Amino acid sequence: MNDPSFAHFRKGLYGLVCAFGLAVTAQAQALLPAVQQAERAVLQAQDAFADQYAPDLIEAARQGLIEAQALGASRSRSDQRKAEALALRVAADADLARARSEEAKAEAGLTQRRQEIAELRRQLGKTGQEGGR
């Protein structure tokens, strides 16, 4: 009369599927920190206008990031190790692009300030010559 229902199996099956999904997600996220760091580095380089000041470096970093993301999605351990190494290299390239961009902006600002100083000196020189007459 009280035969066990198959509904009990369904609850267990749902639990097993959820646990498996979480395990797969956890496995995929094991690599995420290196790839996330590379993503942040590329975004920071873009924010520093690396496209204008270091276009080759930022483009190489973008391409490397795409490859690292693809390798990171693989279930193969060797691909994941390659993805982590590539992500570290991408982060370094993006950081270098950002640094070169910031250096170029600083140099441009310095050149502009020097031109302003030279112009002010010329103006002061003219004023000094007129006042000395």
| pLDDT category of residue 128 using cuts at 50, 70 and 90 | low
On whether residue 1 sits in a domain, the answer given is no
pLDDT at 62 over 70: yes
For residue 66, the one-letter residue type is: I
Q: What global pTM score does this model have?
A: 0.68
On whether residue 82 sits in a domain, the answer given is yes
Find the mean pLDDT for residues 25-39: 73
- Among 89, 97, 86, residue whose Cα is nearest residue 43: 97
Residues 98 and 50: beta-carbon distance below 8 Å? yes
The span from the CA of 108 to the CA of 114, in Å, is: 10
Domain enclosing residue 69, as ranges: 18-128
Sign of torsion, CA 107 112 118 120? negative
- Among 49, 64, 26, residue whose Cα is nearest residue 99: 49
For residue 34, the one-letter residue type is: A
On whether residue 75 sits in a domain, the answer given is yes
pLDDT digits (tens, 9 = 90+) for 9-21: 555 555 555 555 5
Residue with tokens 């370094």: 92
